[in-house]
């Protein structure tokens, strides 16, 4: 199996795409590190994985970069390295630009863009030392186009494309690969938790 014995760190692993990836990687005998803010949801996912005792629940808020290095240290302590980082954490949006506060727009960028960059910065140095690794970014079709009521969400995904396409070129002579995944509309809870103009959840 291609992922057997590899350590795969998934952010946003408590639901949706992250949860589905966790089950898939676990079936292929990878060691999965599950990160998100909701510990009880992460535990549910871990217990639903093949070989649950081989996987690790690691609570993480990607919008709190000061905590990321310590979290990464726990992974290194248990597994020794991260072979694949899946940057999947994100928050959606359902609001008109004219009604959305700047604070809400910053919050979306902190999670979707800066949070992803922070976690990537944590794992990249060791991957470069080993000349091996893969960084995966779960973007969106809205990283290529934009539609009404998704302005800041689309902007955050466009920003990820610009950043990680540049990083891919910089890493061309290394063994570290970059993948940007652009799903369309799929059945997850992202709409439920998307932010409206005042920062509350869409529901």
153 classed as catalytic: yes
Task: Single out the catalytic residue among 23, 113, 153, 163.
Answer: 153
- 88: tokens are 């999947």
Phi, psi (5° rounding) for residue 49? -85, 150
Report the alpha-carbon distance of residue 126 to residue 189 in Å, rounded: 33
CA 27 to mean position of chain CA atoms: 20
**Which whole-number Å values give the CA distances from 188 to 91, 92, 100, 182, in the listed order?**
12, 11, 24, 15
C-beta separation of 83 from 134 below 8 A: yes
Q: Which residues are marked as active site?
A: 153
């Amino acid at each position: 199996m291609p992922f057997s014995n590899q350590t795969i760190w998934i952010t946003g692993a408590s639901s949706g795409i992250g949860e589905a990836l966790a089950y898939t990687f676990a079936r292929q005998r990878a060691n999965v590190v599950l990160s998100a803010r909701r510990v009880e949801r992460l535990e549910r996912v871990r217990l639903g994985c093949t070989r649950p005792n081989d996987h690790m629940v690691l609570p993480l808020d990607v919008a709190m970069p000061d905590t990321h290095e310590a979290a990464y240290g726990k992974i290194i302590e248990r597994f020794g390295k991260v072979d694949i980082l899946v940057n999947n954490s994100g928050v959606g949006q359902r609001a008109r630009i004219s009604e959305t506060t700047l604070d809400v727009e910053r919050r979306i960028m902190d999670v979707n863009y800066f949070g992803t960059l922070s976690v990537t910065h944590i794992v990249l140095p060791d991957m470069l030392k080993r000349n091996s690794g893969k960084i995966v970014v779960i973007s969106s079709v809205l990283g290529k186009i934009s539609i009404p009521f998704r302005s800041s969400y689309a902007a955050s995904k466009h920003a990820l494309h610009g950043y990680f396409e540049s990083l891919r070129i910089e890493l061309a002579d290394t063994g570290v690969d970059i993948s940007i995944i652009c799903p369309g509309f799929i059945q997850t809870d992202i709409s439920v938790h998307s932010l409206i103009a005042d920062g509350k959840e869409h529901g």
